[in-house]
A and B are shown apart, each in its own frame.
Chain A
Amino acid sequence: MQESLPKRAWAIAVHYQCELHRFLMRRMRRRVDVEDLKQEIYMRLLRMNEEEVIKEPLAFLYTVAANAVSDHTIAERKHSQVTVDAKLVEDWANDPDAALPDDMAERMNLDRQLRKALAELPKLQAQALVLHYQEGLYRDEIAKRLGLSPKSVAKYIARGKSRMREIFWEE
């Protein structure tokens, strides 16, 4: 599970990233462990060779985080395999909509929140976001389509994103 960076980091990281991504998804519901994990990721990052990190900072960050999550998950399993599983099953049985946030219920919920938020945003802001994320357009293209300056588009996207971050991770 230990990889030499950055040579094959991306190839391997993409594998672990899913684990990381799932953890982040879960984090939305289960606030437990977040502080510990934050600390762990930070500490690992501080220990890394700075010159190496600078070459591909994001690759390093994701890999470090993915490894921390992965180790964390393994430790969790080792400590209490039975209870963790039983808890999961029990939660799911009690409230199928809440306990396995990775599943469709969670995404439908996010989808609903996203749509609601888009409706509430100023129209140009919402359009800029949709053009960027849905149509995959860049700033200049969006500016042309909406008749705005690229600078405003950047601002709109940034604001829209900031709102979405709040919705996804805090509400």
Chain B
Amino acid sequence: MDHSMRESGAHRQLADEAAEWLFRLEAASPEERRAFVRWLKSSKDAPDEVLLAKSTDILLRQLLRERPVDLADLSVVDTNNVAPLPVTPDTRDLGAECPSGSSRRRWTWISGLGVGIAAAISLLVIEPPLVSRWLHPSVYTTAIGEQRSVELNDGSAISINARSSVRVKFTEHARDVYLTAGQAMFTVAKDADRPFRVHVNDTVVQAIGTKFDVRRAAGRISVAVVEGTVRITTEAATQAASSLATLAAATQVTAGEAVSVGDTGRITPPKPINVAEVSAWQQRRLVFADNTLAEIAEEFARFNRTPQLRIEGEALRARRFSGVFDADAPEALLVYLSEDETIAFDRQGDEIVIMPRPIIVQSSSDTP
């Protein structure tokens, strides 16, 4: 499959030329641009090399800004003197705002550090016996925009979405995980003797060697199964049935299905899902299928401290939209919405107000 990717001299030259062009194009005359296009058309590798050169630029910038290097000794340092990115993306930077790069995350990492420390401290206070497991913290909390993956000592893995919190409690007989906020994807290693259970309030999702996603938002719990089967019980369902019948009362959800649990503990019937969409958030992609604008704004808030999106008017908050967005680029949502002529925008500092257009915009006098 790998058509010999070996580097020939000509190839290397093309790569260098591409880098050189990228640099020169920043202030190029029409003649130079013409020469560039001619060069671009000289070989099918030429456009590709420009893309690679540009991506290299982006990667370098993102990696270095995310975890800065100390100039003096070129060793890794934590630094606080990084400023947040401007809200408006530099549209000329290919992928500059893309998730895999997460240049935006460089400052949420820092705030994430604070949350992590806070979590570690509360852990010490609340559960002194855990001090011995200091190096293996059992609470994982992510900040806005931050995602992380953790591998557990049984070989299971948890991918934790932004603004989420997971507590892990493993014993000899059970593997219990508590999703106290947000969303996480669980990939469960098989262990017949120790059931793997995810607790969300009174709802328990028990895995049977599988991969599934659990999310809590707006008072609902959603469970989507990517692989294998899970069994869901809620306090309400358990109370309704006798303890022996509990297992039978549990709802079984298999791969390619999702259910949600409301405030009352009622579990909706399983509905089919697109497995790729369920995992989309891990690539920092937000997939909306007929979601309300309020829900969409909430999802973006999970990833972005700014701009904050505020939606005015119940009717607009309840309007439904579909689309795939970059979690780190709320601007794309605005571009999308701006095609709708009934919607207007107003930027107030870090906040973007989305509102119905007929409203007469007054000069705002309610500044503090």
Known: A96-B187, A123-B74. A58 touches B92 (CB 8 A): yes
Check if A165 sits within 8 Å of B52, measured CB to CB: yes
Report whether over half of chain A's contact residues are helix, strand or loop; otherwise say mixed: helix
Q: Which of A10, A119, A134 contacts B92 (CB 8 A)?
A: A10
Q: Which residue, B47, B58, B99, B279, has most C-beta atoms of chain A within 10 A? A: B47
Measured CB to CB, the closest approach of chain A to B17, in angstroms, equals 11
**Complex CA–CA separation, A162 to B15 (angstroms):** 8
CB contact list, B2-50 vs A, under 8 A? 2-3, 5, 7, 15-16, 19-20, 22-23, 25, 30, 33-34, 36-37, 40-41, 44-48, 50
Q: Which of A20, A96, A126 contacts B94 (CB 8 A)?
A: A20
Check if A42 sits within 8 Å of B227, measured CB to CB: no
Chain A residues with Cβ below 8 Å from B34 are: 54
Chain B residues with Cβ below 8 Å from A92 are: 187, 211
Chain A residues with Cβ below 8 Å from B61 are: 133-134
**Complex CA–CA separation, A18 to B2 (angstroms):** 25
Chain B residues with Cβ below 8 Å from A15 are: 326, 329, 332, 335
A164 at the interface (CB under 8 A from B): yes
Check if B95 sits within 8 Å of A18, measured CB to CB: yes
Check if B74 sits within 8 Å of A119, measured CB to CB: yes
Known: A88-B276, A105-B149. A13 touches B91 (CB 8 A): yes
Check if A46 sits within 8 Å of B92, measured CB to CB: no
Chain B residues with Cβ below 8 Å from A129 are: 60
B89 at the interface (CB under 8 A from A): yes
**Complex CA–CA separation, A146 to B95 (angstroms):** 30
CB contact list, A85-144 vs B, under 8 A? 85, 88-89, 92-93, 96, 100, 102-107, 110-111, 114-115, 118-119, 123, 126-127, 129-131, 133-134
Check if A103 sits within 8 Å of B149, measured CB to CB: yes
Size of interface on A: residues with Cβ below 8 Å to B: 72
Check if B47 sits within 8 Å of A61, measured CB to CB: yes
A45 at the interface (CB under 8 A from B): yes
17 A-B pairs whose Cβ atoms sit less than 8 Å apart in the complex: A10-B91, A15-B329, A21-B58, A21-B98, A22-B98, A24-B51, A24-B95, A41-B48, A58-B94, A92-B187, A103-B147, A104-B148, A107-B100, A130-B74, A133-B65, A158-B20, A164-B56
Residues on B facing A (Cβ under 8 Å): 1-3, 5, 7, 15-16, 19-20, 22-23, 25, 30, 33-34, 36-37, 40-41, 44-48, 50-61, 63-69, 71, 74, 76, 89, 91-92, 94-95, 97-102, 147-149, 151, 157, 159, 187, 211, 226-227, 275-276, 279, 282-284, 326, 329, 331-332, 335
- For the A-B complex with A17-B98, A38-B48, A165-B15 known, give 14 more contacts whose Cβ atoms are closer than 8 Å: A14-B89, A17-B95, A22-B98, A25-B100, A42-B44, A58-B54, A58-B94, A96-B187, A104-B147, A115-B69, A162-B15, A164-B59, A169-B56, A170-B5
